[in-house]
Amino acid sequence: MNEVNPWSSSQIEDYERMRKEFGIPEFNFDLDNNLFARRHLIIGHRDFSSVNEAMRRKSKFYAMTGLMPSGEMHIGNKTVIDLIIYFQKKGADVHIAVADLESYATRGISLEKGRQLAIENFLLNYIALGLEPCDFYFQSESSRVQKFSYILSKEVNMSEMKAIYGFEDSKRMLEISSPLIQASDILSPQIYDGPAPTVVPVGADQDPHIRLTRDISSRMNLFRLNMDRGIEISIGGTEDPEKPMKIAENIMIRAGATKVSRNRKYRIIRSEDSGNLDLFFMRNELARAEREINRYSTIAPSSVILRLETGIRGGKMSKSVPESTISLNERPEDSRKKIMRGLTGGKESVEEQKRLGGNPYACPIFELYMYHLSKDDTDLKRVEEECLTGKRMCGECKSEAAERMGLLLNELKEKRELARDRINEYIKD
């Protein structure tokens, strides 16, 4: 399959193969009938059950994302923020990192320019889309994120970075260190505001960052929960395990265990009655208790993994290919030109299209309806069936999509102007 690379503009062709190759479970949560879940635009997850349980119990959890201030915010970026807004409404404490250090390292964008782009092209649109006040910060100005990324670097070697990202020896150190800064972004809320489940909505190409961060989190923890053979809590480190073993045993009993055994030699607490244990309680209590003896303990972050939206002219929708995407700051007349020039799943001729129908599942324009332009499933079904049966011609479909996109862009433009007065609610000194 294609390399899963966060910095590539290549589209992922086979999501099922990707899930199997990288061990990504299928996403089977309905998220209160959320559009992305019910339309299967979320192709997988990593340990989302802990976040789902936090929402069900109305317990503390974080939602985290980042943005690269290297150009315009496009509609492909909108899906992640739509999910962040959903989680915020469900009670999440939201943190958004501006990856200005990464944009400086990989795109040569100055920190001053990165700040301007982040506010004008991203934050104003976030507010216009419905994001409420949250922790919106710049990597270059966050000493705590920078400090923690340095601490995390102790857990990773160059061989691992090459294996995950395919880094060549010619890569500059700032580029190599950017994944560690992102890991720090993801874990920092737990370090400074207390352990809690954390969800990071990502495009499928960003999964390497999640894998790395989950691995680092596990390595830095003293308590490690294993569910392969019953329920086990292993105690890391080399110091006398008696105190942490007592803590772990007590938490396991409070979680509902009745048959608990301990193996001091192998530093393990084990329970046979796994079906009756409150694992959500156990995981959270272990992280909180460990904080008393290990200030860097965290709960491994979860993710929801989104299908990458196809660019209007093919490939992955990317700001590096502006002719194939639509900026949220774009003029409706410009977006119309792009849509009318876009690729479709149509046939060679009108006659053939009427006779055989089109293929909406290979059509970037139909994806615009799926992700952004058709909130109502009945409406989306109409567009789909008219295409399949040959009742809908590509020119007609593009024109309708362009009109709907124009309405969306005009609405956002009006809301952005109102949002300008609220910037200080999001950016704290």
Tokens of 231: 């329920």
Sequence-separated (6 or more) residues with CB below 8 Å from residue 203? 76, 80, 305, 306, 308
Class of the CATH domain delimited by 330-425: mainly alpha
pTM of the full structure: 0.93
Give the residue extent of every domain in the chain. 15-221+298-306, 223-290, 330-425
pLDDT at 1: 43
* HSE-CB of 56 using CA atoms within 13 angstroms: 11
> Residue 367: exposed, middle, or buried by beta-carbon count in 10 A (0-12, 13-18, 19+)?
buried
Fold of 15-221+298-306: Rossmann fold (3.40.50)
For residue 336, the one-letter residue type is R
DSSP character for 370? I
Q: What is the DSSP letter of 316?
A: B
* Helix (H) or strand (E) run with residue 222 in it: none
pLDDT tens for 228-250 read 767 899 999 888 999 999 999 99
Phi and psi at residue 174, to the nearest 5° = -65, -35
Asked if 6 and 209 touch (Cβ cutoff 8 Å), the reply is: yes
Distance CA 398, CA 280 (A): 48
**Which token pair is 6?**
């966060």
How do strand 302-306 and strand 268-271 relate by DSSP bridges?
A: unpaired
Model confidence over 247-301: pLDDT tens digits? 999 999 999 988 899 999 999 999 877 667 899 999 999 999 999 889 999 999 9
Beta pairing class for 198-203 and 260-263: unpaired
Question: pLDDT value at position 83?
Answer: 97
Name residue, tokens 């503009």. Answer: 9
DSSP calls for 109-139: --HHHHHHHIIIIIIHHHHHHTPPS-EEEEG
CB atoms near residue 170 (< 10 Å):
6
Which residues in the chain show pLDDT less than 50?
1-2
Task: Provide, for the chain, the percentages of residues in helix, strand and coil under a 3-state DSSP scheme, each rounded to the nearest 5.
Answer: 55, 10, 35
> What's the pLDDT tens digit per position in 356-395?
999 999 999 999 999 999 999 999 999 999 999 999 999 9
Task: Give CA–CA dist 429/423, Å, rounded.
Answer: 12
Place of tokens 């996109």: 405
Q: What is the largest CA-CA distance in the chain?
A: 79
Cα three-residue angle 45-48-52, rounded to 5 degrees: 140
Nearest to 303 by CA among 6, 45, 4: 45
Q: What is the pLDDT of residue 4?
A: 59
The CATH number for 223-290, chosen from 3.40.190, 1.10.3470, 1.20.58, 3.30.70, is 3.30.70
Per the document, the length of the chain is 429
How far, in Å, CA of 59 to CA of 73, rounded? 32
